[in-house]
Chains A and B, each alone.
Chain A
Amino acid sequence: MTNPQDPHAGHDHDHGHEHDHDHAPITADATPGYYEIMEMAVTELMIERGHIGPGEIRRQIEVLDSRTPALGAAVVARAWTDPGFKARLLADGRLACEELGISFYDDTQLIVLENSERVHNLIVCTLCSCYPRPVLGLPPDWYKLKPFRARAVSEPRKVLAEFGTDIPDEVDIVVSDSTAVVRYLVLPLRPAGTEGWSEEELAAIVTRDAMIGVVSVTAEKEAV
């Protein structure tokens, strides 16, 4: 699947950090690196100049820490057990999340993509790393790196196979590429063998990767 615009087609091109990403081990007294110093300096300058308040970064860190895949899992579990909620979720994802107390701290909207026996959904951001952060937290590195971003739109079935997910040909794949104001969340198929489970039990098996669409949900306890 070569894009004729691809200047690197035909050779093995290593984009340095695109392939591996070594981080210095974090120790309490580690000397900050160049970019960390830059980050601290930029923040201090912006506060000194009165552009941002002294507590605003700290508060936003708390916001971010409160956003994890468990929120998305709660949304999915509610949709699986409450048809009225599911209908509202599919009509307006952001509004339905706000119903559950999941505020959206930015200007994004949310479209929830329902998997079915006929359709399997996958989300990607080829241009950068758009991701439904208010409801899933921060994306994994692989979602932001070239292999997934380049190939999810052009060979989704092969990419899914790399995650161990085999979608038969009778099931259509829809890949949603985020570019603007809308973010996506996959509503996975509820697996067989979960009849009568509580919302909590259901949420526990819904993984982040299932809500991205690279894997399906299985009726095994212990979400990752």
Chain B
Amino acid sequence: MTDSILDKVVPALGELPRFAVGDEVQVIKRFPVGHYRVPQYLRGHAGRVERIIEPAAVDNEEEGYGRNAGGKLHYYRVALPMPSLWPDYLGSPRDELHIEIYESWLEKK
């Protein structure tokens, strides 16, 4: 009986995580002036979502300008292969870099 009501629940924009564990994602190639928390060595690189960090959180780049609440999205722990980041990488090709990236910095690969 209640199944059809539950199926009709509409979440707010940005409320639910946009990406799922296992998704191949790409760090957007964007070079903002001012405070950022996505290192340049990541820009444009691709990886795999390892974990969705819950709950949704304030954009830390906006926090730097004084936003302490509101406008929350999710962070994702993304795994990137080391050789893809560094052309002459010295080490196992299976070595990885893991890093938290805010949803606004990611797109589906």
Contact = CB atoms under 8 A, between A and B. Distances in A.
A172 B95 contact: yes
A108 to B, nearest CB: 11
Nearest to A123: B98
A176 interface: yes
B92 A127 contact: no
Given A111-B77, A180-B37, A182-B100, A172 B94 contact: yes
B28 interface: no
B14 to A, nearest CB: 17
A181 interface: yes
A3 B40 contact: yes
Contacts of A126: 39, 41
A106 interface: no
Main SS at interface, chain B: mixed
B97 A155 contact: no
Contacts of B91: 155-157, 169, 173
Nearest to B54: A109
A171 B91 CA distance: 10
A173 B77 contact: no
Nearest to B91: A157
B88 interface: yes
A180 B97 contact: no
B104 to A, nearest CB: 12
A182 B86 contact: no
B90 A180 contact: no
Interface residues of A, number: 27
A223 interface: no
A177 B40 contact: no
A179 interface: yes
B6 to A, nearest CB: 27
B100 A178 contact: yes
Interface string B32-74: 0000011111000000000101000100100000000000000
Contact of B95 (A109, A173, A179): A173
A219 interface: no
A174 interface: yes
Interface in B70-106: 75, 77, 79, 82, 85-86, 88-92, 94-102
A174 B102 contact: no
Contact of B98 (A127, A175, A181): A175
Given A155-B91, A172-B92, A173-B92, A179 B99 contact: yes
Interface of B: 37-41, 51, 53, 57, 60, 75, 77, 79, 82, 85-86, 88-92, 94-102
17 contacts: A1-B86, A1-B89, A3-B41, A5-B40, A127-B39, A154-B41, A155-B89, A155-B90, A169-B92, A171-B92, A172-B96, A174-B98, A177-B39, A180-B75, A180-B100, A182-B75, A182-B100
**Top 4 closest pairs, chain A to chain B, by CB:** A180-B100, A173-B95, A172-B94, A157-B91
